[in-house]
Amino acid sequence: MMTVVSLISIRQNGKGISISLKAIFCDSAKNLRQMGFREERTGLLRWEQESHSHRCRVSVERSRNMLSEYHAHLATLPSEVHSSDDLDAPDLDLSYEYCMDVFKLHARSFHFASRYLNEEERKSIAALYGFCRLVDDFADEMELTVKEIEHELDLLKDIAERLAKGEVFSHPLFRAFGHTMVKYRIPVRYLHELIEGVRMDLRLKEIETVEELDRYCYHVASTVGLMMCHIWGSTDPETLDRAADLGVALQLTNILRDVAEDYDNGRIYLPKKLRDEFRVPISDFENRTVSPNFELLLKHEIARAHSIYAKAEIGLQDLPPAASFTVRVAAEVYGEIMHEIEKMDYQVFEKRAVVPKWRKLWIAFKLRRKYNQEKKTYDLVRKGQR
């Protein structure tokens, strides 16, 4: 029996959205299963396939840039996902390939930083990112009510528990991430905490204290770093604590970069008590104005983020060299985001701070020597332990 898979490529341009269709014929649904998507609603796509009873010629090449042409995260509602037996399960390699496409499209800085990881680790990081991205996207899902989103999050929590037990699901994202969870024994509690962070976002209007902000950052960012540590095999308490610190610093950087966007979405993450301390009125947000006091507040939070980055740096020495390099590049690129904010005189309402690609390349080049030294020492130590 042949398997026919429809690939629908969705491209956004100035005139709207254009859709093109390709078909792929496969000799075996089990050994060569290609993945296609059809649009369900804005930003939500469903994986589909249908059987063909007669033999057809294999012709069409895989649409390698299908995902990069689509403007939103390729996700699906948890309520539309079902478990599969071995015959219906998506091909594992192609499921990871799907996750790599999502990773490249949506996590450009970290995808760039991950190039020194071995193939297995990089694929697993991509699967982890894809699942976390799906969870995070519910915070800004405009098509569903809060009650509907909370229901989907409940289902995601249940799916995470079932993935940890080895259950296989029909969607390629869950197929790959489930394999990663079992392979590296990733504790499901981190996913529960991540999902709880999105719940915090659903009804959040403003954050009251710095402690509340850091707790929020832990839930939505530190949990991801903790799961990465399991993939890298670095799970001692000190390393995990420093990974949690790094997550807080990275998320705080995101918040400083996205002040305007977050306010447009009805949220203020800069704590109210801190705003009161620096005498930053709500009218500064309403008028999209960075007053002198607002600038002082941004400087204060940038300095705090730098101090948390410095604290997190201690834990990098306990990671394998490639992992350490990846995290260092990502951390320095994020540090450059704050430098960009400073360069534009803290005018966060006027434009979004972006690090040019050439500077990312320079950061990687600069850190490569340190990576080579660490890898040489690491290899010698491992050789001596044999």
Of residues 110 and 23, which shows the higher confidence score? 110
What order do you get walking across the sheet with 2-13 strand by strand? 16-26, 2-13, 50-52
In a domain, 378, yes or no: yes
The Cα–Cα gap between 254 and 276 comes to 22
In a domain, 106, yes or no: no
Rounded to the nearest angstrom, the gap between the alpha carbon of residue 150 and the centroid of all alpha carbons in its chain is 20
pLDDT at site 142:
65
DSSP string, 228-253: HHHHHT---HHHHHHHHHHHHHHHHH
The Cα–Cα gap between 340 and 338 comes to 5
Encoded tokens for 322 = 């490639």
In a domain, 25, yes or no: no
In a domain, 151, yes or no: no
pLDDT at site 104:
87
pLDDT at site 33:
36
% of the chain surpassing 90 pLDDT: 56
Fill in the amino acid letter for 183: K
Checking if the pLDDT of 374 tops 80, the result is no
Three-state DSSP at 4 gives strand
The predicted model scores a pTM of: 0.77
In a domain, 62, yes or no: no
Rounded to the nearest angstrom, the gap between the alpha carbon of residue 155 and the centroid of all alpha carbons in its chain is 20
Smallest CA-to-CA distance from 346 within 270, 286, 267, 259 is with 259
Give the number of domains in the chain.
1
CB–CB of 38/6 below 8 Å?
yes
In a domain, 118, yes or no: no
| Beta-bridge partner residues of 19 | 10
Rounded to the nearest angstrom, the gap between the alpha carbon of residue 240 and the centroid of all alpha carbons in its chain is 19
Residue 222: DSSP 8-state: I
- CATH assignment of the domain containing 257: 1.10.600.10
The Cα–Cα gap between 337 and 314 comes to 21
pLDDT at site 383:
66
pLDDT at site 85:
54
The Cα–Cα gap between 314 and 316 comes to 6
**For 45-69, what is each residue's pLDDT tens digit?**
333 333 333 222 222 233 333 333 3
Q: Which of 52-56, 128-132, 341-345 has the highest mean pLDDT?
A: 341-345
Query: Count of CB atoms within 10 A of residue 313's CB?
Result: 16
pLDDT at site 174:
92
pLDDT at site 278:
98
In a domain, 256, yes or no: yes
Checking if the pLDDT of 137 tops 60, the result is yes
Roughly what angle, to the nearest 10 degrees, separates helices 237-257 and 292-313?
160
CB–CB of 223/187 below 8 Å?
no
Smallest CA-to-CA distance from 323 within 201, 239, 262 is with 239
In a domain, 137, yes or no: no
Checking if the pLDDT of 27 tops 50, the result is no
Checking if the pLDDT of 41 tops 90, the result is no
Question: What is the number of residues in the chain?
Answer: 386
Confidence of residue 186 (pLDDT cuts 50, 70, 90): very high
Confidence of residue 352 (pLDDT cuts 50, 70, 90): very high
What is the residue range of 246's domain? 206-386
Please report where in the chains the tokens 């620096």 appear, as a residue: 278
Roughly what angle, to the nearest 10 degrees, separates helices 357-385 and 321-343?
160
**For 251-289, what is each residue's pLDDT tens digit?**
999 999 999 999 999 999 999 999 999 999 999 999 999
pLDDT at site 86:
53
